[in-house]
C-alpha cells in the first residue's frame, strides 16, 4: 500500500510515495502558477512511472489555489445576507458590496425574539440578483443555537444560487463577525476550487487512478476528503505551512521547545513547537483584514527563500522579499540567495559556472567583491529569519497559547533546538547555527519534507454539542443534528454522545477511526435558574480528532 503526498509550493511542487518501509519515490517539479493542475499532473506522472499504481491507496494534496485566489483578488462576488438583532451593528463587519442586513433575531439560547422580515429579505435577494450574484452566504447571530433563520434565508434564495453557505454549518462557535468572514470567503473561492477538484478527479481517471481516495490538507494540520472540501474550500487556505509542520513531525522526534524553519524557494515559514507540539491559532486566522473561524497552525511566512532576489539599495545588500524568477544556476536572470550560497560552496546545484560568473558581474557592477556580496546577502537573509523569529517568540510569550492538544497559560517558551527543512536547508544550516547558537538539525529527506507531511497527515474533524435540558433539546450545529433529550441528561451523557457522533461522522466520510485519536477538548455544564429554582442545565461539549500523522520516520 502506498500513500501519496503532493505539496504545491511557491516555487516547486513536491511529490512523494510512501510505503510501509519509507519513501519509495519522490520528485520535485517547477510550480506553474497559471496552471497548478499541470504541476500536480507532472509530479503525479513521475511518481506513477516509478511505482505500481495498483498499490496506491490515497493521495493527500496541499494546494495554494484558495490562498492565491484570495491574495490575488481572483474570486467571484458574494451576496452576504445577515441578521443579528440588538447589539453590535453588523454593518461594522461588512465584507463586500452586496452585504444586506435583515431585521430579525434569536437570543443566546436560540429562541426567536423577532421574526425575519421577509419583505426586506426579498429585496436583498432581488438586489443580489440584479448584481449577477450566484453564490450566497447566510449568517445569523445565534444560528449555532438555532439555524431556522439561516435555513429560511436559504429557502428564499432558492434557485437564485449555485451555492450557499450557512454560517452554522461551518462551526458551532458563536463569534458572529468571524462567522460572517468565514462564510464569505467560503463562497468566494467555492467555484474556482470546485473546478480544480473536478480537474483533479478527471486527471486521476485519465491516468487510471480513479480508485485513489483524495484528501485535501487543511490549515489546522489535518486533511478532509475531497467531497467534503468542495463544500468548505475555505478550510484549504494556508494548507502549505501545515504540510511543513506535519512533515517535521513525521521526520523528527521533537520533545523540546523548538523552532521550525521551512526554507522554500519563495518564502521561509517559521513555526514554534512547545514541548514537542506545534502551536495553533485557536480562534482562527485573519484572511486579509478579516478575522475568520478557520483554525490554523501558527506559522509566520516571510519573503526569504532560495530564489529571493539579491538587490543593492544605497550601498546596502538585501535579499527578497521579491522572487523575480529562478536563480541564475537554474536559468534565471537575477542573482538570488541560492547563487550566493553556491559562491560560498554551501550549495552544489544547477549550472555552477553560470551562477558564479553572473554573481561576480553583479557584484562588480555595484562596487563589491563577489565574496563580500555573497557574505552580505547570506547574512541579510539569516538576520531577517532571526529577527522575525525573535519577534514571533516574544509575541507568543505575551499571551496564553494553544498547542494542537491543550491551552498553555503562564508558560514561557524558550527554544532549545532548531529544525530546518526545504531545498536550501542543508546549505544554510551552519549560517543559522552560528546566528542562533542553538542545536540545529536538518532531517533526512529535508527537501521533500512538506510532501511527506502531506502524505502522512491524518483526517481530522471537530464538532460542538449543545444541550438545553430545560427545553429538552440537544443539537450539533455542524452536522445539522437535533434531538430531544430527557431533563436528567448530564454532562457525561453529552460527552458520550459527542464522541459517538464524531466517529459516526468520520464513518460517513469513509474514514476509518477507532477513537484512539479522538479527544474532548472542552466541556462545561451550567445550572439555569429561574428565581430561586433550578430549571435545567446548559451543557456544551467540544471534541476533535487530533491533528497528527499516521506514522513517523524519525
Domain boundaries of the chain, sorted by first residue: 2-71+192-239, 79-188, 462-545
The residue assigned the cell 537575477 is: 334
For residue range 7-26, list pLDDT tens digits in order: 887 778 889 999 888 888 88
Distance CA 38, CA 357 (A): 33
The predicted model gives 441-457 an average pLDDT of 91
How many CA atoms lie less than 13 Å away from 367 in the CB half-sphere? Answer: 6
Helix (H, G, I), strand (E, B) or coil at 252: coil
Instruction: State the pLDDT at residue 425.
Output: 93
- Tens of pLDDT, residue by residue over 488-529, are 999 999 999 999 999 888 888 777 766 778 888 888 888 887
What CA–CA distance (Å, rounded) separates 242 from 545?
Answer: 16
* pLDDT for residue 131: 95
Confidence band of 416 (pLDDT split at 50, 70, 90): very high
More confident residue, 438 or 548: 438
For 16-41, b where at least 16 C-beta lie within 10 A, e where not — what string? bbbeeeebbbbbbbebeeeebbbbbb
Across 118-142, average pLDDT: 95
**Is the model's pLDDT at 345 over the cut of 80?**
yes
Mean pLDDT of 335-364: 93
- What pLDDT shows up at residue 185? 93
Report which of residues 71 and 343 the model is more confident about.
Answer: 343
Average pLDDT over residues 434-438: 96
pLDDT of residue 9: 77
pLDDT of 390 over the 90 cut: yes
Among residues of the chain, what percentage have pLDDT more than 90?
47
Confidence at 101, pLDDT banded by 50, 70, 90 = very high
Nearest C-alpha neighbor of 521 from the set 182, 258, 295: 295
The pLDDT of residue 100 is: 96
pLDDT in tens, 136-193: 999 999 888 888 999 999 999 999 999 999 998 887 777 889 999 999 999 999 998 9
Instruction: Tell me how far apart the alpha carbons of residues 120 and 129 are, in angstroms, rounded to a whole number.
Output: 14
User: Once rounded to an integer, what is the mean pLDDT over residues 364-386?
Assistant: 95
Query: Residue 257 contacts by C-beta under 8 Å, 6 or more apart in sequence?
Result: 272, 273, 274, 275, 413, 414, 415, 416
pLDDT value at residue 52: 84
Q: How far apart are CA 432 and CA 269, in angstroms?
A: 14
Helices (H), ranges, 309-465: 337-343, 352-365, 370-396, 425-436, 449-456
> Is pLDDT larger for residue 63 or for residue 502?
502
| Alpha-carbon torsion angle 416, 418, 419, 425, nearest 10 | -170
- What pLDDT, on a 0 to 100 scale, did the predictor assign at position 423? 87
**428-457 mean pLDDT:** 93
Provide the pLDDT for residue 26.
Answer: 87
The residue-averaged pLDDT of 307-311 equals 93
d(CA 7, CA 12): 8
pLDDT above 70 for 74: yes
Mean pLDDT computed over every residue of the chain: 88
Tell me, what DSSP letter sits at residue 549?
Answer: B
pTM: 0.85
- Give me the half-sphere count of Cα atoms (radius 13 Å) on the Cβ side of residue 394: 6
CATH 3.30.160.270, applies to 2-71+192-239: no
H-helix or E-strand containing 191? helix 190-206
> At residue 530, what are phi and psi to the nearest 5 degrees?
-120, 110
- Strand 533-545 vs strand 473-476: parallel, antiparallel, or unpaired? unpaired
Residue 407 has pLDDT above 70, yes or no: no
Question: Which strands form 79-83's sheet, in the order they lie side by side?
Answer: 99-101, 79-83, 135-140, 163-166
Q: Give me the pLDDT at residue 150, please.
A: 93
Q: Is the dihedral of CA 283, 176, 539, 150 positive or negative?
A: negative
Residues 6+ apart with CB under 8 A from 407: 282, 400, 401
Residue 35 pLDDT level (bands cut at 50, 70, 90)? confident
Residue 435 to residue 377: CA distance in whole angstroms: 14
Q: Answer whether 316's CB lies under 8 Å from 346's CB.
A: no
The separation between CA 163 and the C-alpha centre of its own chain, rounded to angstroms, equals: 22
DSSP 8-class letter at 32: -
What is the H or E stretch that residue 241 is in? helix 239-251
Question: With pLDDT > 70 as the criterion, what percentage of the chain qualifies?
Answer: 97
Amino acid at each position: 500500500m502506498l500513500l501519496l503526498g503532493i505539496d504545491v509550493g511557491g516555487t516547486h511542487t513536491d511529490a512523494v510515495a510512501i510505503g510501509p518501509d519509507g519513501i519509495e519515490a519522490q520528485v520535485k517539479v517547477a510550480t506553474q502558477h497559471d496552471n497548478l493542475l499541470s504541476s500536480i499532473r507532472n509530479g503525479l506522472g513521475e511518481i506513477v512511472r516509478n511505482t505500481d499504481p495498483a498499490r496506491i491507496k490515497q493521495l493527500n494534496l496541499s494546494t495554494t489555489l484558495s490562498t492565491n485566489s484570495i491574495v490575488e483578488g481572483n474570486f467571484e462576488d458574494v451576496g452576504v445576507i445577515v441578521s443579528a438583532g440588538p447589539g453590535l451593528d453588523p454593518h461594522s463587519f461588512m465584507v463586500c458590496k452586496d452585504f444586506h442586513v435583515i431585521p430579525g433575531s434569536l437570543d443566546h439560547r436560540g429562541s426567536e425574539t423577532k421574526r425575519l422580515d421577509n419583505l426586506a429579505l426579498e429585496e436583498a435577494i432581488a438586489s443580489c440578483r440584479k448584481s449577477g450574484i450566484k453564490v450566497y452566504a447566510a449568517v445569523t447571530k445565534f444560528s449555532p443555537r438555532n439555524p431556522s433563520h439561516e435555513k429560511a434565508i436559504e429557502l428564499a434564495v432558492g434557485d437564485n444560487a449555485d451555492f450557499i453557505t450557512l454560517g452554522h454549518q461551518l462551526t458551532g462557535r458563536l463569534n458572529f463577525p468571524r462567522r460572517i468572514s468565514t462564510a464569505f470567503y467560503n463562497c468566494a473561492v467555492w467555484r474556482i476550487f470546485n473546478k480544480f477538484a473536478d480537474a483533479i478527479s478527471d486527471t486521476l481517471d485519465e491516468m487510471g487512478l480513479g480508485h485513489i481516495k483524495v484528501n485535501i490538507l487543511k490549515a489546522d494540520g489535518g486533511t478532509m476528503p475531497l467531497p467534503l472540501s468542495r463544500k468548505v474550500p475555505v478550510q484549504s487556505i494556508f494548507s502549505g505551512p501545515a504540510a511543513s509542520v506535519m512533515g517535521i513531525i513525521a521526520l523528527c522526534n521533537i520533545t523540546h521547545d523548538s523552532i521550525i524553519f521551512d526554507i522554500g524557494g519563495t518564502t521561509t515559514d517559521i513555526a514554534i513547537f512547545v514541548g514537542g507540539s506545534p502551536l495553533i491559532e485557536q480562534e482562527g486566522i485573519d484572511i486579509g483584514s478579516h478575522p475568520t473561524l478557520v483554525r490554523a497552525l501558527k506559522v509566520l511566512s516571510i519573503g526569504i527563500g532560495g530564489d529571493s532576489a539579491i538587490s543593492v539599495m544605497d550601498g546596502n545588500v538585501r535579499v527578497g522579499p521579491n522572487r523575480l524568477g529562478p536563480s541564475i544556476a537554474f536559468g534565471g536572470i537575477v542573482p538570488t540567495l541560492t547563487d550566493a550560497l553556491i559562491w560560498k560552496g554551501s550549495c552544489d546545484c544547477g549550472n555552477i559556472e553560470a551562477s558564479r560568473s553572473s554573481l561576480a558581474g553583479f557584484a562588480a557592477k555595484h562596487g563589491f567583491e563577489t565574496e563580500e556580496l555573497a557574505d552580505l546577502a547570506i547574512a541579510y537573509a539569516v538576520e531577517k529569519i532571526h529577527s522575525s523569529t525573535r519577534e514571533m517568540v516574544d509575541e507568543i510569550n505575551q499571551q496564553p497559547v494553544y498547542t494542537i492538544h491543550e491551552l498553555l497559560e503562564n508558560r514561557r517558551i524558550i527554544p532549545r533546538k532548531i529544525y530546518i527543512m526545504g531545498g536550501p536547508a542543508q546549505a544554510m544550516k551552519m549560517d543559522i547555527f552560528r546566528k542562533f547558537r542553538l542545536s540545529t538539525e536538518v532531517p533526512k529527506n529535508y527537501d521533500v519534507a512538506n510532501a511527506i507531511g502531506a502524505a502522512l497527515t491524518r483526517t481530522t474533524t471537530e464538532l460542538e454539542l449543545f444541550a438545553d435540558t430545560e427545553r429538552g433539546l440537544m443539537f450539533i450545529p455542524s452536522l445539522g443534528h437535533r434531538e430531544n433529550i430527557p431533563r436528567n441528561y448530564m454532562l457525561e451523557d453529552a460527552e458520550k454522545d459527542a464522541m459517538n457522533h464524531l466517529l459516526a461522522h468520520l464513518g460517513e466520510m469513509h474514514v476509518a477511526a477507532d477513537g484512539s485519536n479522538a479527544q474532548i477538548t472542552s466541556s462545561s455544564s451550567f445550572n439555569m435558574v429561574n428565581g430561586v429554582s433550578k430549571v435545567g442545565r446548559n451543557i456544551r461539549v467540544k471534541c476533535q480528532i487530533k491533528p497528527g500523522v499516521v506514522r513517523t520516520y524519525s
